[in-house]
Structure 1
Amino acid sequence: MKGMVAFAATLASWAQAVATEEGVDGAALYQQNCASCHGAELEGQPDWRSPGPDGRLPAPPHDATGHTWHHGDDILFRITRDGTAAVVGGGFESDMPGFGDSLGDAKIRAILDYIKSTWPERERAYQRERTQQE
């Protein structure tokens, strides 16, 4: 188990180093690509737990009031890269597109690192546990 934790920490450090080397600013990328739906302050859309008239859920917050921190890194990465519907499957419909073609892996990881950096320690600890369980 310790080996897996060390490996995960090494991967996280490597991803951060790659993002830094490439001059990737996760906060700026979030504002450019995510804030229009998820809010400039990560607050999400109003009534995000209730489907709209089209049956789709509004964009959830990415701050501690939302559920983003309930998911491990792999799920968050795949949702951002491929879109929610592709990851959830089963005919689930979502307005969340995939950003893999337009952003690439390093920029997606930088955005996710930024989002996670805004959470209180309790949420970050829970999310780290979820990541280890994946």
Structure 2
Amino acid sequence: MVMKKTSRLLPRLVMAAGVAVVVASLLVQWRSTPGIVADPGDVAQVAAGEEIYQENCASCHGTHLQGQPDWQKPMPNGRMPAPPHDQSGHTWHHPDRLLFDIIRDGMVPPQAPPGYESDMPAFGERLGDDDIAAVLAFIKSRWPQKIRDWQAEKTRQAR
């Protein structure tokens, strides 16, 4: 009798634990960042973002946002080279929320699959939220208007 109850209860407990993990992951992924605005039309924010980018990002992503050569092919160590942030890359395919989280936290779950190894460091200890928003404003300011509009819509849809 006890064995039957346990055998019916165990699958339910496993399912509940799985649901809890999924819900927790979603909550972490969608945590809010109040007051974060990356405006490519804000001249002061873009200028600040360019300075921060050149000091913290350009060594890997290039002074002109060009990324590393062969950025779509794994390096010998299995990691991916730094991608470009200009229109030739895929940065603009992602909403601001994800881009902000990658800069702040690095390429770790939920921004990347578990076990993914990346050379992208977390800048959250070095850069404040406004600094990260400024970097994004700078990057976005270099995209053609059509790409900016598309990415802005992607950001609106993700909210």
* Alignment coverage as a number of residue pairs: 120
Q: 1:36 to 1:11 in 2, by over 3 A?
A: closer
Query: Does 2:60 align with 1:67?
Result: no
Larger-gyration structure (1/2): 2
Higher helix proportion (structure 1 or 2):
1
Query: Does 2:56 align with 1:33?
Result: yes
Q: Tell me the TM-score normalised to structure 2 length.
A: 0.70
Gaps spanning 5+ residues in structure 1: where?
1-9
CA positional deviation for 1:133: 1.5
Matches within 5 A, 1:35-54: 35-54=58-77
Q: Secondary structure at the match of 1:54?
A: coil
Q: 1:13 to 1:81 in 2, by over 3 A?
A: closer
Matches within 5 A, 1:1-134: 12=37, 25-86=48-109, 87-134=111-158
Q: Is the 8 A contact 2:38 2:134 kept in 1?
A: no
Give identity over the alignment, percent. Answer: 53
Q: Report the Cα distance in structure 2 between the residues aligned to 1:50 and 1:85, rounded to whole angstroms.
A: 20
Gaps spanning 5+ residues in structure 2: where?
1-34
Q: Tell me the TM-score normalised to structure 1 length.
A: 0.82
Q: Which amino acid aligns with 2:128?
A: G
Q: Can you list the C-alpha shifts for 1:45-68, whole angstroms capped at 9, x where unaligned?
A: 000000000111100000000000
Taking only aligned residues, the RMSD between alpha carbons, in angstroms, comes to 2.2
